[in-house]
């Protein structure tokens, strides 16, 4: 009865959306149907007669889902598929409702929703592509995502797990799973340039540092734990002889060492090698002959905004989705490698589906673009102010942009024959794509006129690209600070780096540098002894529990030296996990981890452990700044201050949780040590705090040298202030 009613509700919803609202029905029919019949997916499953595949993973799942559906269709099968990326249970139910009957079901699933979908769907195969940091406000930390996927697999024991063995996160899931597993991987070093931040350098079993024979990108590669033997399983499906160049990607596919076929694809980006290999592996598991895989991959012309090509206003245009550091880093390579003059625009929103926190922009190596010739860069999307600040500290003056049309106009001014690259995150993508679709249609309809208009735009444009004075020191500083030098010690950047906090070091270094102060940044990794007597500013970022515990334990050896440094007036900034470590003890689940005992604080966990998190944007009033201090918190720890320190600030937005969700305060101050829960990173949007730290560090050196305390010259902080004001407005707090 329920099922019949759910089908009727789904059909009515589909009809209403199509006929009345003229919208595709990718989610709503399934959502409505699931309300009536919570087991709707299980009840609809018999519509699929031959088999079902679920594709899951942080990056590439829409592409692989579409590729697999194309392969099956090329092979003559009918397919039920949520092609547009509606990947919650409602999207899967909607696809099944629309299908009526199909030979195969191919469904993309969100990582956290897999545990809802799998018990009902009991798919034949799950394709696990990769796990990277993404939407951390929803996921918390990556081990939570791993746990959820493991639970999902346990609920469907007959499912075969086809997984990326190059990813230690996926390997750990396979190691703990009772399901049958078929690993795939790239069995040679692609020789790619490495990025600054990678997830999971630690062994998934024992926390020792992994040894890599080679590293592709992110944490992907060939790894082994020297201590406990946790390692990449030799893949059943391998890519060999991989060639990646401007023509595309080609490689041989092997099953158990025997060649299955050779693939040539015009698709761009090293990461696409993994998507193609995953498709080949999955298709082979379904007994589809390689020629159909080849055919479908050749014909693959995505029109869903993933690597979609256009020609508009005389420009070659490439649109792509990127929603996390690894994905965006891969896109930067595509931009950098493209020949000729070019313009790149990034569109970053912060809606529910994007994640409300944009700190991750600081884990992206935008610095790589600063040295690319003949390139102009634009910042768009709801959080374009944050993006502009990020780009500014990467050495790039980016003009704000209002969408694809605005970009085409501004890019034509700057570089008339430029190739355009539009990179957008989740909710930013549809608007950008809609504009491009419309522009491409107009172009077809009015070809000669449209190009005339393009040239007119070039002639009439008068303004320059970029914020002209963004990077300049407003008042000359070199006279005020002769021979000044700052040494910034960044403690354990390889472990405590999950939320873009390393950006604080970049902000400190850049702001000092712009005032003609020499800066040295010392990256001190785990186990390395640090000479704190040489340090002017010490920085500790936040991190996931596993890495935080490893950092905390290792730092115990240096606790006394760091304590002496702080007691002697040394400047220190600690964020979130780094803040917790400074206390006497901190709790990880039921485990009490000894801290460094530098601050009079104690950190506990609430019921629910690491999943019970305090998450969201925060505004503070702090004695260290005139403007509200804004940032983003995401922590499970609840910290309580003793009498020995003051809070860093008082929460003024009415919703922020701060130290413990109870007393209305965030962070701690003790001598010249500042600690806070705020990511963002903190200093990018709160330059007054950055300058307070620099000033204190310089003053300490001046006392030592017997010279007068130097005054810092003002910098042009319009971009930083705009990002701060945006958040103040969002939180309903008065900006300064």
Instruction: Measure the CA–CA gap between 447 and 443, rounded to whole angstroms.
Output: 5
- Contact with ligand GLN (CB under 6 A): which of 635, 669, 696, 721? 635
- 3-state SS assignment for residue 254: strand
Instruction: Measure the CA–CA gap between 281 and 256, rounded to whole angstroms.
Output: 11
**Residue 494 token pair:** 């390889």
- Which residues sit opposite 224 in a β-bridge? 211, 231
Instruction: Measure the CA–CA gap between 539 and 707, rounded to whole angstroms.
Output: 26
- Contact with ligand GLN (CB under 6 A): which of 347, 366, 492, 499? 499
**Catalytic: 679?**
yes
Distance in Å, CB of 677 to ligand GLN, minimum:
7
From first CA to last CA, the distance across the chain in angstroms is: 61
Report the residue number, 122 or 147, with the smaller CB distance to ligand GLN. 147
Q: Please tell me whether residue 544 binds ligand GLN under the rule CB under 6 A.
A: yes
For ligand GLN, which stretch binds (CB under 6 A), given 13-21, 125-133, 145-153, 541-549? 541-549
Instruction: Measure the CA–CA gap between 236 and 312, rounded to whole angstroms.
Output: 44
For ligand GLN, which stretch binds (CB under 6 A), given 160-168, 356-364, 628-636, 682-690? 628-636
For ligand GLN, which stretch binds (CB under 6 A), given 165-173, 302-310, 449-457, 631-639? 631-639
- Contact with ligand GLN (CB under 6 A): which of 305, 380, 542, 628? 542
Instruction: Provide the mask over 278-317, with x wherever binding to ligand GLN is found by CB under 6 A and - wherever it is not.
Output: ----------------------------------------
Q: Which of 43, 144, 635, 679 is catalytic?
A: 679
Q: Please tell me whether residue 133 binds ligand GLN under the rule CB under 6 A.
A: no
Q: What's the order of all strands across the beta sheet hosting 125-128? A: 79-81, 102-108, 48-56, 125-128, 160-164, 180-186, 237-245, 248-255, 258-265
Distance in Å, CB of 560 to ligand GLN, minimum:
24
- Contact with ligand GLN (CB under 6 A): which of 313, 583, 628, 637? 637
Distance in Å, CB of 636 to ligand GLN, minimum:
4
Distance in Å, CB of 642 to ligand GLN, minimum:
19
Q: Please tell me whether residue 545 binds ligand GLN under the rule CB under 6 A.
A: yes
Alpha helices (H) in 640-686, listed in sequence order: 682-685
Q: Please tell me whether residue 105 binds ligand GLN under the rule CB under 6 A.
A: no
CA 288 to chain centroid:
34
257, with CB counted inside 10 A (0-12, 13-18, 19+), is: exposed
Q: Please tell me whether residue 397 binds ligand GLN under the rule CB under 6 A.
A: no
DSSP state of 713: P
Phi-psi sector, 375: left (phi>0), alpha (psi -120 to 50), beta? beta
Q: Which of 81, 280, 470, 576 is catalytic?
A: 576
Q: Please tell me whether residue 576 binds ligand GLN under the rule CB under 6 A.
A: yes
Q: Please tell me whether residue 539 binds ligand GLN under the rule CB under 6 A.
A: no
Instruction: Name the E strands within 474-628.
Output: 485-491, 518-524, 537-540, 571-575, 585-588, 591-594, 601-605, 614-621
Report the residue number, 423 or 495, with the smaller CB distance to ligand GLN. 495
Distance in Å, CB of 576 to ligand GLN, minimum:
3
Report the residue number, 498 or 690, with the smaller CB distance to ligand GLN. 498
Q: Please tell me whether residue 631 binds ligand GLN under the rule CB under 6 A.
A: no
- Contact with ligand GLN (CB under 6 A): which of 321, 488, 636, 712? 636
Distance in Å, CB of 613 to ligand GLN, minimum:
6
- Contact with ligand GLN (CB under 6 A): which of 59, 331, 634, 659? 634
- Contact with ligand GLN (CB under 6 A): which of 130, 222, 548, 713? 548
For ligand GLN, which stretch binds (CB under 6 A), given 116-124, 542-550, 594-602, 712-720? 542-550
| Closest by CA position to 193, among listed 393, 369, 59 | 369
Alpha helices (H) in 338-379, listed in sequence order: 367-370
Q: How many CA atoms lie within 13 A of 485 on its CB side?
A: 7
Residue that has been written with the tokens 């935008």 in this structure = 366
Instruction: Measure the CA–CA gap between 720 and 683, rounded to whole angstroms.
Output: 9
**Catalytic: 635?**
no
Instruction: Name the E strands within 452-503.
Output: 485-491
* Count of residues making up the chain: 736
How many residues bind ligand GLN (CB under 6 A)? The answer is: 13
Distance in Å, CB of 546 to ligand GLN, minimum:
9
Q: State yes or no: cis peptide before 681, omega within 30 of 0.
A: yes
Contact positions toward ligand GLN, by CB under 6 A? Answer: 499, 542-545, 548, 576-577, 610, 634-637
Catalytic sites, residue numbers: 576, 679
């Amino acid at each position: 009865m329920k099922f019949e009613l759910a089908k009727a509700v789904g059909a009515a919803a589909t009809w209403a959306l199509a006929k009345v609202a003229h919208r595709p029905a990718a989610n709503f029919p399934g959502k409505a149907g699931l309300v009536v019949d919570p087991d709707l997916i299980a009840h609809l499953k018999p519509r699929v007669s031959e088999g079902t595949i679920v594709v899951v993973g942080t990056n590439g799942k829409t592409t692989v889902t579409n590729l697999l559906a194309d392969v099956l269709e090329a092979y003559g099968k009918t397919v039920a598929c949520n092609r547009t990326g509606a990947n919650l249970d409602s999207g899967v139910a909607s696809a099944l409702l629309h299908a009526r009957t199909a030979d195969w079901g191919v469904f993309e699933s969100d990582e956290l929703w897999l545990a809802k979908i799998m018990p009902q769907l009991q798919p034949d195969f799950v394709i696990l592509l990769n796990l990277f940091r993404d939407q951390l406000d929803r996921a918390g930390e990556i081990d939570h995502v791993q746990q959820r996927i493991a639970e999902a697999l346990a609920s469907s024991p007959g499912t075969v797990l086809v997984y990326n063995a190059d990813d230690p996160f996926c390997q750990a899931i396979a190691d703990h799973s009772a399901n049958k597993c078929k690993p795939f991987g790239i069995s040679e070093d692609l020789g790619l340039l490495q990025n600054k931040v990678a997830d999971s350098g630690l062994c998934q079993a024992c926390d020792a540092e992994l040894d890599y024979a080679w590293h592709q990108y992110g944490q992907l590669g060939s790894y082994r734990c020297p201590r406990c033997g946790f390692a990449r399983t030799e893949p059943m499906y391998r890519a060999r002889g991989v060639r990646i160049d401007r023509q595309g990607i080609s490689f041989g596919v092997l099953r158990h060492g025997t060649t299955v076929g050779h693939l040539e694809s015009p698709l761009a980006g090293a990461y696409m090698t993994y998507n193609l290999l995953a498709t080949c592996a999955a298709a082979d598991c379904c007994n589809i002959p390689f020629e159909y895989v080849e055919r479908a991959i050749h014909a693959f012309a995505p029109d869903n905004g993933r690597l979609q090509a256009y020609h508009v206003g005389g420009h070659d245009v490439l649109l792509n989705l990127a929603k996390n550091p690894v994905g965006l880093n891969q896109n930067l390579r595509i931009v950098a490698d493209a020949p000729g003059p070019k313009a790149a625009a990034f569109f970053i929103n912060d809606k529910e589906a994007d994640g409300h926190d944009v700190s991750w922009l600081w884990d992206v190596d935008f610095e790589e673009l600063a040295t690319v010739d003949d390139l102009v860069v634009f910042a768009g999307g709801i959080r374009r102010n944050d993006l502009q600040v990020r780009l500014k500290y990467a050495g790039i003056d980016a003009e704000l942009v209002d969408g694809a049309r605005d970009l085409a106009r501004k890019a034509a001014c700057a570089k008339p024959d430029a190739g355009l690259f539009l990179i957008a995150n989740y909710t930013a993508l549809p608007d950008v794509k809609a504009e491009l679709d419309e522009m491409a249609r107009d172009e077809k309809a009015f070809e000669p006129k449209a190009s005339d208009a393009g040239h007119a735009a070039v002639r009439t444009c008068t303004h320059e690209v970029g914020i002209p004075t963004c990077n300049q020191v407003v008042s000359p500083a070199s006279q005020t600070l002769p021979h000044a030098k700052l040494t910034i010690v960044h403690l354990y950047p390889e472990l405590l780096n999950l939320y873009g906090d390393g950006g604080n070091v970049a902000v400190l270094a850049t702001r000092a540098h712009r005032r003609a102060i020499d800066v040295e940044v010392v990256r001190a990794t785990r186990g390395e002894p640090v000479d704190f007597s040489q340090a002017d500013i010490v920085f500790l970022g936040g991190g996931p529990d596993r890495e935080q515990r490893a950092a905390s334990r290792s730092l115990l050896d240096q606790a006394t030296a760091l304590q002496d440094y702080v007691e002697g007036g040394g400047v220190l900034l600690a964020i979130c996990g780094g803040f917790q470590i400074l206390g006497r003890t901190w709790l990880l689940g039921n485990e009490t981890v000894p801290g460094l005992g530098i601050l009079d604080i104690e950190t506990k966990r609430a019921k629910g452990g690491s999943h019970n998190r305090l998450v969201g944007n925060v505004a503070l009033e702090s004695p260290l700044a005139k403007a509200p201090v804004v940032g983003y918190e995401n922590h499970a720890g609840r910290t309580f201050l003793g009498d020995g320190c003051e809070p860093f600030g008082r929460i003024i937005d009415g919703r922020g949780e701060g130290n413990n969700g109870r007393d209305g305060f965030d962070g701690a101050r003790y001598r010249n040590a500042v600690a806070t829960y705020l990511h963002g990173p903190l200093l990018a949007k709160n330059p007054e705090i950055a300058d307070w730290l620099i000033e204190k560090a310089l003053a300490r050196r001046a006392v030592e040298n017997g010279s007068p305390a130097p005054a810092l010259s003002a910098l042009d902080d319009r971009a930083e202030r705009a990002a701060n004001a945006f958040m103040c407005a969002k939180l309903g707090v008065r900006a300064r």
